[in-house]
A and B are shown apart, each in its own frame.
Chain A
Amino acid sequence: MAGLMSGFGSFTHAVVRAVPQSLAKEALRTGSQEVDLLKVREEYDEYVSVLKHRLGLEVVELPADDALPDSVFVEDVAVVCGDTALITRPGAESRRKETEAMKTALTELGLNIVEMTDESATLDGGDVLFTGREFFVGLSKRTNQRGAEILADVFKDYAVSTVPVQDRLHLKTVCSMAAPGLIAIGSSEPAQKVLKIMQQMSDHKYDKLTVPDDYAANCIYMNLPGKGDVLLHCTPEEFPESAKVFEKLKDHMLIPVNNQEKAKVDGGLTCLSVLINKKNNI
C-alpha cells in the first residue's frame, strides 16, 4: 500500500537496448573521439549483467537497430514514474524513431503510456531528474519548455521545475540522485549553477554529494529488497577522485560500472536503462 511518493529507488524492471553497429561512427557526440565498438559492447554487457544478475532486476532488452545509432541510450526516450510512462519526443531528430520500440515494450509491461505528440515539444529523458518528491527538467539543446510542460501535465502530483542547462548536453550529465534526498553533483561551474537553481526552486532540502568530475555525477541509485541502498557509479579507473567520493557512502552497496567508452558519445550510466517499478501499483 505504498502511498504517494514512497518507495523512491525501488525497481523491478529495467529496459535496455542492445548496441547497434552504427554507434561507433554515427552516434551523436559533442566531442570527436573515436569509439571502440567492442569496448562499448563489453561495457554494455557488464551493465546488463549487473542489473540482471547482481541486482536481480527483470531486464527487457530491446533489439539493436542500426538505423538508430543512439538507441542504446534508452533513457532519453521514456520517462517512467509510478505506473505511468511518458514517451518523449527526443530533441535530436535522428532519434525520434527510437521511441517506437520503447513504447511497445512499456505497453507490454502494463504501464500507462502517454505520448508526447506536440510537435513543438522536445524532451530528452536525460534532462529529467526525478528526486522522489519532484521533477527537475533541464532546458537544454535537447529539451524545451513545451516538453517540460507536457511532462508536468503527465505527472501532475509532482512539482516540475525547470533548470537551464548550459554548456552541457543534459541535466543529468552533471547530476543524479545518489540516495533519497542526496544529489550527486559535478563540481564544474555549470554543474554548480544547476545545483543552486535546483535548491532555490525546491521546497525540499537536498544534500549534495559533490564529485570532482561532472560525468561521475551520473550514477544510479536503487533501493532493492534485500540489498538496501544500491549505487552504480563510475570506476576508479575512469574517475579516481570521484570514485573516492562515492566510496565514502558506507551504507550503500557500491557497484562501480565501467562506462568509459560510452562516455565518448556522451552516454552516462543512467542513459542506458529505463527503470520501472511494477510493484509500485498503489
Chain B
Amino acid sequence: MTTEVGSETDVKKEPEKVPEVQQQTEPQQTEQPDKAADSAAQPASASDDQPQEESQSAEAKSDPEAAASPEPSSPPAAGGQKKDKGISRFLPPWLKRQKSLSQDKPAESTEPPRQESVEAVKEEHEETSQPKEEADGEGGATTSTEQTEEVKEVKEVKEVKEVKEVKEVKEVREESRAEEVQVEEKDKEEEKSIGSADTQPVREEKEGESEVKESEEQTEKKEEKKEEEQVNQQETSVLSALKLKKMKMVVCHVTLLDGSQFSCEVEKRAKGQYLFFQVCEQLNLLEKDYFGLSFKDNAEQRCWLDPTKEIKRQIRNSQWQFAFSVKFYPPDPSQLTEDITRYLLCLQLRQDIASGRLPCSFVTHALLGSYTLQAELGDHDPEEHRLDYISDFQFAPNQTKELEEKVVELHKSHRGMTPAQADAQFLENAKKLSMYGVDLHHAKDSEGVDIMLGVCANGLLIYKDRLRINRFAWPKILKISYKRSNFYIKIRPGEAEQFESTVGFKLPNHRAAKRVWKVCVEHHTFFRLVSPEQPTKTKFLTLGSKFRYSGRTQAQTRQASSLIDRPAPYFQRTSSKRISRSLDGAPVVNVSDYSQALTAGAGENGPSLELNSDSKSPQVEVVEKPNEDADTSLTSETAFETDKGGAPERKVPQQTPPRPGTDSRDASKSAEVKPEVNGQPEVVEVVEETVVIEEVVKAKPKSPTPEAAVTVETEHAAEVKEERSLSSDSESEDEAEYHAQPPSTSVSAQLIKEEPEEEQEADLTQQAPPSVIESQPITEAAEPAPAAEEEKPAAQPEEEACADEPLLTPDEAPNGHALQDEAPPTLKATAAEEEEPHIVNGSASRVETEHLPQVICCSEPPVVKTEMVTISDTFAAQKTEISTKEVPIVHTETKTITYEAAQLDGNGDGEPGVLMTAQTITSESLCTTTTTHITKTLKGGLSETRIEKRIVITGDSDIDHDQALAQAIKEAKEQHPDMSVTRVVVHKETELAEDDD
C-alpha cells in the first residue's frame, strides 16, 4: 500500500490518500480498474516525461504492468540491504558472501543514493520522502495501525529499490568500465554486460531476498486481504513508472505457459533479468531459477535470453516477443517447494507432450492426460463430463478418440485427488520419460551422419534417430568448447585409457554451435555445480566467450526455496472455475496441499552430493621459473594450450584415441600429472575459441603472439580457480607443473614443429601412440606452413597445423607401423579395448580435422599477429639435456616449438616478452610426464626459461600416489637445481569404487 502512495504522491500529493484507501479496499479483480485509475493518474506524470508512452498510452495495461515490473528488479537491492540482517538468517551462506562483496555499492546507493542518481534523484527523492509521510497519513486513514507499519516497511523497500534501479544502470556502467580497466580482456560486446554481470549476481540475490520478504509480508497481509497485495504490486508499478520517464520504453510481449500473453514495458536498454523478474512477479513465482525467457532469433531458432545482458542486444532485430518457459527441468519435481512451481512445470510438460517434443507411448499419454484433467477439472462428473468435455485439451500430438476414451477412463479413477496431487502424479510419471528435460540440437558426427545432441541434467546424450548411441555424463567431460560451427567436448580418460579425447560435432552453423555450447555450460553449472563459477575477471587473459551461467545452481535454488515461508500462493489454473465446482466446496484459494510440497523439500540428489562423492582432488601444480616473471611464462604456456583448443583434434573414426604419451594438449599444459585412479573429473572447462580471437586482440597486453594459446591457458587457470572456489566439486585432476626435467622422460627424437597438436593428431590417426620416429615426416609437412603463415594471426599456427593434418590420413601416416611397433604392449591393449566402445557408439564422432578451415573464425575479426616459425637446433640441445635416465621409457615424444616474433602487431607492443621457444617432451610409463620448455625474450632482452612438467600418475589405489608425486617433484628439483619450483598443481581424480560385487 505504501508503495502506491509513493507513486501517486509523486503525481498528486494531495489526492494520494484517497486513492490509496480506495485501492486497498478494492478487490483483486479491480486490476483493470486499478490500472485504469493508475493510468489515469500516471499518464499525466509519466506521459510528460515519456513521449514514447503516448503511443502506448492506448494500452493502459502496459503502463501499470510495466510500472509494476520495474520494481521487482530494482527494489531488491536496496530493500535487501536494509533488511540484510534480519534476512540474513534466511540466506544461504553463498548469498551472504556475495552480499558482503557487493555491499559497498548497495550501501552507497541506499544512503547517498538519491543524490547519486542524478537523473532519478528528484523523482525518487520525492517518492522516498513522500511515502513515509503518506504512510503516516495512511496510518490515520487505515484501520489497523499494524498494517500501516508493515506498509511502511514495504514502502521503504520499494522506494529504495527504485532509487537503486536508476543507480544501477549508471553504477553498473561505471563499474563495468572500471572492470575493463582492470581486466583488459573483456569483450567490447560484453563490456557492459560483464560489468553488470558482476554486479548482477548481487542484485539477483538481493532481489531474491527482498522478494522473500515481500512475499512474507504479503502473505501476512494476504491473510487479511489478498487484494491488498495486488494493490501493492500495482502501486509499486506505479512508482516504477516514474522511473521510466526518462528512458525509452519498449513493450515486451511474453507468452506465458498457460498460453496467455503478458505485456510489459521495459526500458529499452533493460537487461533480460528485468523482464524475467517482471514475469515472475506477475506469476507470483519464487522458485524461478528453473525458468527462463526465450525468443526466436532471425533464423527462427529458440534462444534463451541471457538475464545479465541487455535484451536489445540479444534479440537484435527480432521482435520483443518472448516465451516464458522451463529452462532446467528439475530431475525430481517433488523436491520443488511450491505447488505453483510444479504447476508451471506441468504446463510446460503438457506443451512439450502435445508438441511431440517429449515423446511418450499411448498409455503414458493417457495417464498424463488423465492427471491433467483431474488437476484442471477436479473429479470426473458423469453428468457434466461427457466425452466432449475434454476436447479442449490436447494430450498428444495426434489425439485419437481412443486416446480420449482412455484418458476419461483413467480420469475416473483419480477421484478425490486434489489438483496439486494430480500435478504431482503427473510429474512423477513425466520425469521418468527418457526425453524429459533433454534439450535437443541437430548436429552431425564426424562422418557427416545426422545425429542429435541432447543436453540434460546429467550430461550430454547423443542420439541417432531415436536411439541413444552415446552418453557423456558431466563428470566425464573435461572441457566444452566450440569453434566456428564445431562443438567439442573433451572427455576424461576412462579407467583403461591414458589420455583425454576430444569429440567433435558439426552444428549447422556458428550460432547453433554457440547455442549448444551455452546450453551445456548452463546445464553443467546448474545441475552439477554447487555454485556458479566465479566471474572471469580475475584471470589475466581471457579468450573466447566469457559466457557463464550466473544464476543460481540447482543446489542453491533448492536451498533458497527451502526457506520460502509463505502460504501457498493462490493461482488460477487454466480452468479453475470448473475446479471450484467439481471440488464441492473446496476452498477456492488453495486447492493444493502445500504441506506435501513442503515435506518434499528435503534435498536428495543434490548435485552437491554427487560432487562430493565423485570428486576429491587436490591439485598440485609445480612450476619452476628461473625468472620471476610469472606472466610471461604463462603466456607461453598459453600458446601451447591454444594449440589444443585451437585445433580440434582429429578423430580417428572408430577408435578412442589412445593417445600415446603425447597429447598436444597435455603438452600445452606442460606438466600435468594426472593420476587417474578411476577418476571422475568434475570440472568442465569451457572454452570458446571463436570469440577468443577478438578478445585476444584487446586483451593483448600480455602476450601478443601466442594469444590464442593464452586464452586457453587462461581458461585453464580459470578451471583451477573454479575448482578451488567451488570446493567440493571441482577438484579433480592431479596436475603437476614444474620446471624440472621429466623424471621419466627420455627425449630421443627431436621434432621441430610448429604445433604440438600435429603430433597429437598424427598419433590419433595412427592410433598407435609412438611418435618420435615418424615425427619427421610430419614436421616436413608442417614446415611449409610457417613461411606462409607470416603475417597471419597468431592463431594461425594452430590452424595451419590443422590444415596440414588432413594430409596425414591415418593410412597415409608414415609412422603408423613404426609407431605400433614401438608402442608398448600395454598401450596397444588399451587402445584395443577402447576401440570397441567407440565403435559401438560409432556415431559419436571424433574430432574432425578436416573441418578445420584455415580461417580462424568467420564471425570475428582475426587477430593479426605475425609470427615466424623458426626451426633451430638450439632447442634441440635443450632437449638433450632434458632426457631422463631412471625412468623406464615406454614411449617418448619430443617436440620443439619455436616462435620468433618477426613482427608484432600493435597489440604486441605492451608485451612483456616474446615467446622464443617452447618445447615439449613427453614420455610415458607408469608415470607420464610431459615437459614443456618455454623460453621467452623479455623486453629488456633478457630471456627466461620456464619449464613445466605435467606428470600423470596412473594406477589403482595400490599405488601410493603421494609418494609417487613426491618422488617426481624431487626428481624434478634435482634435475634443475638452478631453478625453483614456483607452482605445483595436483589434480587427483578418484572414482568411487565401481560396483564391485
* Mutual binders A and B: yes
* Interface set of A (CB-CB < 8 Å, partner B): 1, 3-5, 82-84, 112, 133-134, 137, 139, 145, 148-149, 152-153, 155-164, 166, 193, 196-197, 200-203, 205-210, 245, 282
Nearest first, the 5 closest Cβ-Cβ pairs linking A and B are: A159-B434, A152-B466, A164-B840, A161-B468, A156-B359
Q: Determine the main DSSP class of A at the interface with B.
A: mixed
27 A-B pairs whose Cβ atoms sit less than 8 Å apart in the complex: A3-B425, A3-B428, A4-B432, A145-B464, A145-B467, A149-B466, A149-B467, A152-B465, A152-B467, A157-B360, A157-B364, A157-B433, A160-B434, A160-B467, A162-B467, A162-B469, A164-B840, A166-B836, A193-B837, A200-B473, A200-B837, A201-B471, A203-B456, A203-B458, A208-B995, A208-B997, A245-B997
- CA of A184 to CA of B244, assembled, Å: 67
* A133:B432 contact, CB within 8 angstroms: yes
B959 to chain A, nearest CB (A): 22
Which B residues touch A206, using CB under 8 A?
995
Choose from A155, A166, A193 the contact partner of B361 (Cβ within 8 Å).
A155
* B434:A134 contact, CB within 8 angstroms: yes
Q: Is B366 an interface residue (CB 8 A)?
A: yes
> Within residues 403 to 434 of chain B, which ones have a CB less than 8 A from any CB in chain A?
410, 413, 425, 428-429, 432-434
B931 to chain A, nearest CB (A): 33
> Within residues 802 to 855 of chain B, which ones have a CB less than 8 A from any CB in chain A?
833, 836-837, 839-841
- CA of A203 to CA of B997, assembled, Å: 20
Choose from A3, A149, A200, A207 the contact partner of B465 (Cβ within 8 Å).
A149
* B468:A159 contact, CB within 8 angstroms: yes
Chain A proximity mask over B40-79: 1 for CB below 8 Å, otherwise 0 = 0000000000000000000000000000000000000000
**Most central of A1, A160, A200 by chain B CB within 10 Å:** A200
B381 to chain A, nearest CB (A): 20
* With A5-B432, A208-B997 already in contact, 20 other A-B pairs whose C-beta atoms are closer than 8 Å: A3-B429, A4-B364, A4-B429, A133-B432, A137-B467, A145-B464, A145-B467, A149-B465, A152-B466, A156-B360, A157-B364, A157-B434, A160-B434, A160-B466, A193-B836, A200-B470, A205-B995, A208-B995, A282-B363, A282-B410
Choose from B361, B413, B458 the contact partner of A82 (Cβ within 8 Å).
B361
- CA of A1 to CA of B422, assembled, Å: 13
> Within residues 445 to 482 of chain B, which ones have a CB less than 8 A from any CB in chain A?
456, 458, 464-471, 473
A11 to chain B, nearest CB (A): 17
Residue on B nearest A4 in the bound complex, by CB = B429
Choose from B367, B467, B997 the contact partner of A282 (Cβ within 8 Å).
B367
- Given the interface pairs A149-B465, A152-B465, A160-B466, the reply to whether A200 lies near B471 with Cβ below 8 Å is yes
* A148:B467 contact, CB within 8 angstroms: yes
Choose from B362, B364, B425, B465 the contact partner of A112 (Cβ within 8 Å).
B362
Residue on A nearest B471 in the bound complex, by CB = A201
* B471:A157 contact, CB within 8 angstroms: no
- CA of A112 to CA of B366, assembled, Å: 14
- CA of A227 to CA of B471, assembled, Å: 37
- Given the interface pairs A3-B367, A3-B428, A193-B837, the reply to whether A202 lies near B434 with Cβ below 8 Å is no
Which B residues touch A159, using CB under 8 A?
434, 468
Residue on A nearest B367 in the bound complex, by CB = A282
Which A residues touch B995, using CB under 8 A?
205-208
- CA of A155 to CA of B466, assembled, Å: 10
Residue on B nearest A155 in the bound complex, by CB = B361
Which B residues touch A202, using CB under 8 A?
471
* A197:B837 contact, CB within 8 angstroms: yes
* B997:A156 contact, CB within 8 angstroms: no
- Given the interface pairs A3-B367, A163-B840, the reply to whether A203 lies near B361 with Cβ below 8 Å is no
- CA of A3 to CA of B425, assembled, Å: 9
Residue on A nearest B836 in the bound complex, by CB = A193
B214 to chain A, nearest CB (A): 38
- CA of A245 to CA of B464, assembled, Å: 37
- CA of A139 to CA of B469, assembled, Å: 11
A94 to chain B, nearest CB (A): 27
In this complex, the interface size class of chain B, counting residues with CB under 8 Å from chain A, is 35 or more
Residue on A nearest B833 in the bound complex, by CB = A193
- CA of A161 to CA of B839, assembled, Å: 14
- CA of A201 to CA of B841, assembled, Å: 9
Which A residues touch B469, using CB under 8 A?
161-162
Residue on A nearest B466 in the bound complex, by CB = A152
Which A residues touch B432, using CB under 8 A?
4-5, 133, 157
- CA of A152 to CA of B452, assembled, Å: 15
Chain A proximity mask over B695-716: 1 for CB below 8 Å, otherwise 0 = 0000000000000000000000
- CA of A245 to CA of B997, assembled, Å: 10
**Most central of A159, A166, A245 by chain B CB within 10 Å:** A159
Residue on B nearest A137 in the bound complex, by CB = B467
**Most central of B458, B473, B995 by chain A CB within 10 Å:** B995
B252 to chain A, nearest CB (A): 36
Residue on A nearest B364 in the bound complex, by CB = A157
* A160:B837 contact, CB within 8 angstroms: no
- CA of A160 to CA of B456, assembled, Å: 16
> Within residues 428 to 443 of chain B, which ones have a CB less than 8 A from any CB in chain A?
428-429, 432-434
- CA of A161 to CA of B470, assembled, Å: 8
A86 to chain B, nearest CB (A): 12
> Within residues 466 to 514 of chain B, which ones have a CB less than 8 A from any CB in chain A?
466-471, 473
- CA of A155 to CA of B467, assembled, Å: 11
- CA of A153 to CA of B361, assembled, Å: 9
- CA of A201 to CA of B836, assembled, Å: 14
- CA of A228 to CA of B470, assembled, Å: 35
- CA of A20 to CA of B837, assembled, Å: 39
Residue on B nearest A1 in the bound complex, by CB = B413
- CA of A166 to CA of B833, assembled, Å: 13
Residue on A nearest B413 in the bound complex, by CB = A1
Which B residues touch A161, using CB under 8 A?
467-469, 471
- Given the interface pairs A134-B434, A193-B837, the reply to whether A162 lies near B468 with Cβ below 8 Å is yes
- CA of A159 to CA of B469, assembled, Å: 10
A216 to chain B, nearest CB (A): 14
Which A residues touch B473, using CB under 8 A?
200
Which A residues touch B434, using CB under 8 A?
134, 157-160
* A201:B468 contact, CB within 8 angstroms: yes
Choose from B361, B410, B428, B464 the contact partner of A156 (Cβ within 8 Å).
B361
Residue on B nearest A152 in the bound complex, by CB = B466
- CA of A272 to CA of B410, assembled, Å: 35
Which A residues touch B841, using CB under 8 A?
197, 201
- CA of A197 to CA of B470, assembled, Å: 9
Chain A proximity mask over B384-400: 1 for CB below 8 Å, otherwise 0 = 00000000000000000
Residue on B nearest A156 in the bound complex, by CB = B359
Which A residues touch B428, using CB under 8 A?
3
> Within residues 522 to 549 of chain B, which ones have a CB less than 8 A from any CB in chain A?
none
- CA of A160 to CA of B361, assembled, Å: 14
- CA of A209 to CA of B995, assembled, Å: 9
Chain A proximity mask over B976-997: 1 for CB below 8 Å, otherwise 0 = 0000000000000000000101
- Given the interface pairs A82-B361, A208-B995, the reply to whether A160 lies near B367 with Cβ below 8 Å is no
Which B residues touch A137, using CB under 8 A?
467
- Given the interface pairs A3-B428, A207-B995, the reply to whether A164 lies near B468 with Cβ below 8 Å is no
Which A residues touch B425, using CB under 8 A?
3
* A162:B840 contact, CB within 8 angstroms: yes
Which B residues touch A152, using CB under 8 A?
465-467
- Given the interface pairs A4-B429, A193-B837, A210-B997, the reply to whether A157 lies near B413 with Cβ below 8 Å is no
* A164:B836 contact, CB within 8 angstroms: yes
B295 to chain A, nearest CB (A): 30
* A83:B467 contact, CB within 8 angstroms: no
Which A residues touch B836, using CB under 8 A?
164, 166, 193
Which B residues touch A157, using CB under 8 A?
359-361, 364, 432-434
Which A residues touch B360, using CB under 8 A?
156-157
B542 to chain A, nearest CB (A): 33
A180 to chain B, nearest CB (A): 14
B411 to chain A, nearest CB (A): 12
* B839:A164 contact, CB within 8 angstroms: yes
Which B residues touch A156, using CB under 8 A?
359-361, 364, 466
Which A residues touch B413, using CB under 8 A?
1
